[in-house]
Structure 1
Amino acid sequence: MRKFEMIHSINEADQFIQSHSLVLLYILRTNCSVCHALLPKIQQVMNRFPAVACGQINADEVEEVAKHLTIFTVPVLLLFGEGKELLREARFVRVDEFEEQVLKISSAFEE
């Protein structure tokens, strides 16, 4: 299962997004059961996409992430390409559909 890099500040998040061509950010909260149930499934999916850098932000630890990334609920999955948000999935994520979208986006970046 793929490990996601822990991000502890907005500056770290911005730097992480800017330093990789493709980035997935997974935003969760400590006491969110949906967040913790979904995370291993997303980690499994991301095993197929080694070119995508994966980071994880706990919104309880980095409270300003909600304002900075316009987040109203958790979990949130944000996929960035060249620093721009290309995909946003929130709360109840259909894993198979998410995987298809990541495949399309990552394929476009490989061309």
Structure 2
Amino acid sequence: MFELLKNEQDINHFLQNEDLFFLYISKYNCSVCHSLLPQLEPIMERYPRIVSRQVIVDEIPALASKFSIFTAPVLLLFVNGKEYLREARFVHLDQFQSKLDKVTLQFSGGF
């Protein structure tokens, strides 16, 4: 299960200190968010170099503007603190995993 981040400072810490950082942004009353999470967790376990965390945007409303969030869930992958990959709402997990494979292969030599 992804560790739940509770404030913007924790998110900023990971953005500044992790080469590969994945953030799963969800909402409390979002059925898609709740059904996607258990499917996503085993996929992310295949990528131990990617630090994965979850945040509930209802608890930190400032994130909606910080990351231009208009729907949920949102899957964000950051490389060296910069957004590199974004998926939102209805995510095709096989395509998402393929993108993760390419990213980790592309950046495997640099980390």
User: 7, 10, 13: which one pairs with 2:8?
Assistant: 10
Counterpart position of 1:38: 36
Q: Unmatched 5+ residue regions in structure 1?
A: none
For the aligned residues, what is the CA RMSD?
A: 0.8
TM-score by length of 1: 0.95
TM-score by length of 2: 0.95
Q: Deviations over 1:25-48 (max 9, x none)?
A: 000001100000000111011011
Deviation at 1:94, TM superposition (A): 0.2
Q: Unmatched 5+ residue regions in structure 2?
A: none
Give the % identical residues: 43
Q: Could you tell me how far apart the structure 1 residues matched to 2:105 and 2:6 are?
A: 30
Counterpart position of 1:23: 21
Counterpart position of 2:65: 67
User: 95, 98, 104: which one pairs with 2:96?
Assistant: 98
Q: Could you tell me how far apart the structure 1 residues matched to 2:36 and 2:22 are?
A: 14
Q: Deviations over 1:39-89 (max 9, x none)?
A: 011101101100000010001111111011111000000000011100000
User: 74, 78, 83: which one pairs with 2:76?
Assistant: 78
Deviation at 1:24, TM superposition (A): 0.5
Q: Could you tell me how far apart the structure 2 residues matched to 1:14 and 1:104 are?
A: 25
Q: Which runs of 4+ in 1 moved over 2 A?
A: none
Q: Tell me, what secondary structure is at the counterpart of 2:78?
A: strand
